[in-house]
A and B are shown apart, each in its own frame.
Chain A
Amino acid sequence: MSDKLIIGFDLCDTYTQIAIYDEDKKEVENVKLTDDLEEIPTTICKVRRRDEWKIGAAACEMALFGSGIAVDKLLRLVKKGGYSTLEGTTYQASDLLELYIREAFEYVTAKYSKDIDKVVFTVKELDCVLVNCIVESAVKAGVDKDSVMVISHTESFLYYLLRQPAENLANYSVLFDLSSEGLSYYECQIQRGVSPQIAQAKVTELEEGFSLDILESEPGKKLADNIFSACVDRQFSGKIISNVYMTGRGLLGIQEWGSKSLKTICNRRRVFLDNAMFAKGAVWAAKMAEGSEPVVPYVMICDGRIWASVSINMVVAGAPKTLTLISAGQRWYDTKSHTEFILDDADSIDINITPAGVKKSTLKRITLGEFPERPNKTTRVGMDLEFTSETELLVTLKDMGFGELFASSGVVLRREISL
């Protein structure tokens, strides 16, 4: 049995789920958190007049009875760069998130009497500020920076899907997620006829989302069924879908409230229900990142991953070549590239953008008007590429001069390219 934990941490504004890899059973299991719940509210509470913190249902209960002060919607607060004042002390949202993650880690490590080896957080929507804050929080809680990753729910779904037995892996699969966060619809398409093979997923937030509270009453259940079945009809219209996945607390009890919806969903389709799909997908992501699981043979295109390759036509050791600087399918927020080259009769930089699975490239040109005039082949350029979002590529071009022969002018150009 491994002496360290591999954790998938589904961190949402309203709820948290954690899954771990069970070395004995060789499978992923959902962790029962505080109060024996598989899903806890993402809420932190400071115990009054004590430097003590509670999270989850215990935090809500404590706040309800007045013995503590709770803060919820932590992720939204972090994205806004907000803060909260508790008993006269101001806490930055990032500090509160760090405390929350630390408490959760302590709970899991105490429960399994193991340290954390790798943790992959999965969030509904990737945001630079949030990603950095989560990584910093995990590092402060004692996890090595290289052992922390943050991925989107879409990517988690892809990992979950791609770990299914081959016979369950259809070319086209969909996922409904009904939780306290709302109703989301995911589509995953697997392209096997291209090289490399592509697994592409996208998410649509559906307006039909409803509060899970309505499922407490009979009329509410009927209403929910009507809403959801209409939504399913609309999404399935004109599509050949063989596999349907469902997740989220709302769909966990669909047999009790959604007979009409299930009739449509289960019509000649295979249907899979799993309450902790994103957390489990995150565990598989962690397993693959640590190298104990074979890497999926697909380029993954989804939220958080770059959908196009970035390349440049260059002369390499005397021969013309297309040099791929960033490959499609990499995570945009931790993908960087640095290249140094010499301008040969060139006054601009041409960058090729090639979508995954497509052969034709789009050319993006950056003119170097501010670079100084020099004899040919005496300007060394340092080019840095990084993404500021999935679709925005920041290109930094630095005039490095040519040693002592031609000193650098210090000119640095920054251009944002929209993919």
Chain B
Amino acid sequence: MSAYLLCSGPLAVHPYKIRETGLLIYSAEELSYYIYNNFYLIDEGFVDEELISFIRDELGLGAAADHICAMKDENAGAGVLLISILREFRYYSEVEIKEFQLRYDAYRHNSLANRKVMKADFLMEHGHFLAAIHIYHQFDVLRKDPSLPAEFYMKIKQHMAVAYIKLGLNREAMDSFMEAYKQVPGEELLKQIYQFSLYSQITIPSELYGDITPEQEEIWREEFEEVAAQGSLLATTGPTVAMFSKDSIRRGEAIGRYIENVKRKYRTAIF
């Protein structure tokens, strides 16, 4: 059923900057949305004095700030504090908050290492590749945690390779793929490395040649060429091309929006 939610107050004159992402928050509703959809990025110290002051002074929600502050003083956990913020702001319904609580609890049940990877993967999904690589780098294969399986490190290096590809750093991507393959060799990863070499024109390291059969090579090459052909079609009809086909005024506006978007992504990728 459609509805209109009355805003809790005017937009803050002095926004709150979220440490983890650099994002500026101007309202209680934005803060609720950020918590609800980005809890992977929220660390233990998210609800601090600065945030409570922002809620009290900038959003003018003194009663909510007092309540959150009291819970914090009683050493409530991070999850409880986040849920109390969501409840105070009433942007989400009780059903939605319960659903959030389930997701959050499931997330918290993971090991610290897994939570870090989930955070990095989340950043990847949202285009923050540099930030994701920064977290992946924290898992050094030379100083492996014996409690974590080799597959864990393989996945990390594989995801890291994808992040490098997204940034156009092909040499670093190939190195990451090779490190992943060293952890757990497998056909799927081998295929990925082979097709990436075709894409990037970087020669496959010689030690892998023996692992690829001529049949595999033929099939993977055909698959790659098919995908590449589709990619080339996209490159001539995609949104960036469309942007340049506009008239001079609209082109300027579209480029402006595009650059602003890139700048925003860059800004939020640095921490």
Question: A residues touching B (Cβ–Cβ < 8 Å)?
Answer: 312-318, 320, 323, 339-349, 377-378, 380-381, 400, 402-405, 407
Q: How far is the CA of A341 from the CA of B91 in the complex (A)?
A: 11
Whether the pair B33, A316 counts as a contact (CB closer than 8 A) is no
CB-CB under 8 A from B27, the residues of chain A are: 380, 403
CB-CB under 8 A from B103, the residues of chain A are: none
Q: How far is the CA of A407 from the CA of B26 in the complex (A)?
A: 12
27 contacts between A and B (CB under 8 A): A313-B3, A315-B6, A317-B6, A317-B8, A317-B90, A318-B90, A318-B93, A323-B6, A340-B6, A341-B4, A343-B4, A344-B2, A345-B3, A348-B2, A349-B4, A377-B5, A377-B33, A378-B33, A380-B7, A380-B27, A380-B29, A400-B11, A402-B30, A403-B24, A404-B24, A404-B30, A405-B30
Selected contact of B4 from candidates A312, A402, A404, CB within 8 Å: A312
Whether the pair A344, B6 counts as a contact (CB closer than 8 A) is no
Whether the pair B29, A342 counts as a contact (CB closer than 8 A) is yes
Q: How far is the CA of A341 from the CA of B7 in the complex (A)?
A: 5
The residue in B2, B4, B34 that gathers the most chain A C-beta atoms within 10 A of its C-beta is B4
Selected contact of A346 from candidates B2, B10, B30, B91, CB within 8 Å: B2
Q: How far is the CA of A377 from the CA of B29 in the complex (A)?
A: 9
Given the known interface contacts A402-B29, A405-B30, the answer about A314 and B5 at a Cβ–Cβ threshold of 8 Å is yes
CB-CB under 8 A from B211, the residues of chain A are: none
Q: Which residue of B lies closest to A321 (CB)?
A: B6
B260 part of interface (Cβ distance < 8 Å)? yes
Whether the pair A403, B25 counts as a contact (CB closer than 8 A) is yes
Question: B residues touching A (Cβ–Cβ < 8 Å)?
Answer: 1-8, 10-11, 15, 23-27, 29-30, 33-34, 90-91, 93, 260, 264
Whether the pair A346, B33 counts as a contact (CB closer than 8 A) is no
CB-CB under 8 A from A339, the residues of chain B are: 6
CB-CB under 8 A from A340, the residues of chain B are: 6-7, 10
Q: How far is the CA of A312 from the CA of B260 in the complex (A)?
A: 36
Report B246 CB to chain A, min CB distance, Å.
17
Q: How far is the CA of A340 from the CA of B10 in the complex (A)?
A: 8
Q: How far is the CA of A342 from the CA of B34 in the complex (A)?
A: 15
Given the known interface contacts A402-B33, A403-B30, A405-B34, the answer about A346 and B4 at a Cβ–Cβ threshold of 8 Å is yes
CB-CB under 8 A from A316, the residues of chain B are: 6
Q: How far is the CA of A405 from the CA of B5 in the complex (A)?
A: 18
Given the known interface contacts A317-B90, A377-B33, the answer about A403 and B26 at a Cβ–Cβ threshold of 8 Å is yes
Report A315 CB to chain B, min CB distance, Å.
5
Whether the pair B23, A347 counts as a contact (CB closer than 8 A) is no
The 10 A-B pairs with the shortest beta carbon distances in the complex, nearest first, are A346-B2, A318-B90, A403-B30, A340-B7, A341-B4, A342-B5, A344-B3, A403-B26, A345-B2, A316-B6
Report A190 CB to chain B, min CB distance, Å.
35
Whether the pair A344, B24 counts as a contact (CB closer than 8 A) is no
CB-CB under 8 A from B26, the residues of chain A are: 403-404
CB-CB under 8 A from B260, the residues of chain A are: 407
Q: How far is the CA of A106 from the CA of B250 in the complex (A)?
A: 58
Q: Which residue of A lies closest to B91 (CB)?
A: A377
Report A116 CB to chain B, min CB distance, Å.
36
Whether the pair A314, B2 counts as a contact (CB closer than 8 A) is no
CB-CB under 8 A from B8, the residues of chain A are: 317
Q: How far is the CA of A405 from the CA of B15 in the complex (A)?
A: 13
Given A402-B30, A405-B34, 4 further pairs, Cβ under 8 A: A313-B3, A343-B2, A377-B5, A380-B27
Q: How far is the CA of A345 from the CA of B30 in the complex (A)?
A: 17
Q: Which residue of A lies closest to B267 (CB)?
A: A404
CB-CB under 8 A from A400, the residues of chain B are: 11
Selected contact of A342 from candidates B1, B7, B25, B264, CB within 8 Å: B7
Q: How far is the CA of A341 from the CA of B6 in the complex (A)?
A: 4
CB-CB under 8 A from B30, the residues of chain A are: 402-405
Q: How far is the CA of A132 from the CA of B93 in the complex (A)?
A: 47
Q: How far is the CA of A408 from the CA of B260 in the complex (A)?
A: 13
Q: Which residue of B lies closest to A345 (CB)?
A: B2
Given the known interface contacts A340-B10, A342-B29, A402-B29, the answer about A315 and B3 at a Cβ–Cβ threshold of 8 Å is yes
Report B266 CB to chain A, min CB distance, Å.
13
Whether the pair B4, A405 counts as a contact (CB closer than 8 A) is no
CB-CB under 8 A from A341, the residues of chain B are: 4-7
Whether the pair B33, A314 counts as a contact (CB closer than 8 A) is no
Whether the pair B2, A405 counts as a contact (CB closer than 8 A) is no
CB-CB under 8 A from A404, the residues of chain B are: 23-26, 30, 264
Q: How far is the CA of A323 from the CA of B6 in the complex (A)?
A: 9
Q: How far is the CA of A318 from the CA of B89 in the complex (A)?
A: 9
CB-CB under 8 A from B5, the residues of chain A are: 314-315, 341-342, 344, 377
Q: How far is the CA of A320 from the CA of B3 in the complex (A)?
A: 9
CB-CB under 8 A from A314, the residues of chain B are: 3-6
Whether the pair A347, B2 counts as a contact (CB closer than 8 A) is yes
The residue in A312, A347, A349, A403 that gathers the most chain B C-beta atoms within 10 A of its C-beta is A403
Given the known interface contacts A377-B91, A403-B27, A407-B260, the answer about A315 and B10 at a Cβ–Cβ threshold of 8 Å is no
Report A34 CB to chain B, min CB distance, Å.
51
Q: Which residue of A lies closest to B8 (CB)?
A: A317
Report B244 CB to chain A, min CB distance, Å.
21
The residue in A312, A323, A377 that gathers the most chain B C-beta atoms within 10 A of its C-beta is A377
The residue in A313, A314, A340, A407 that gathers the most chain B C-beta atoms within 10 A of its C-beta is A340
Q: How far is the CA of A317 from the CA of B88 in the complex (A)?
A: 9
Q: How far is the CA of A249 from the CA of B143 in the complex (A)?
A: 104
Report B158 CB to chain A, min CB distance, Å.
30
Q: How far is the CA of A315 from the CA of B90 in the complex (A)?
A: 10
Report A95 CB to chain B, min CB distance, Å.
40
Q: Which residue of A lies closest to B2 (CB)?
A: A346
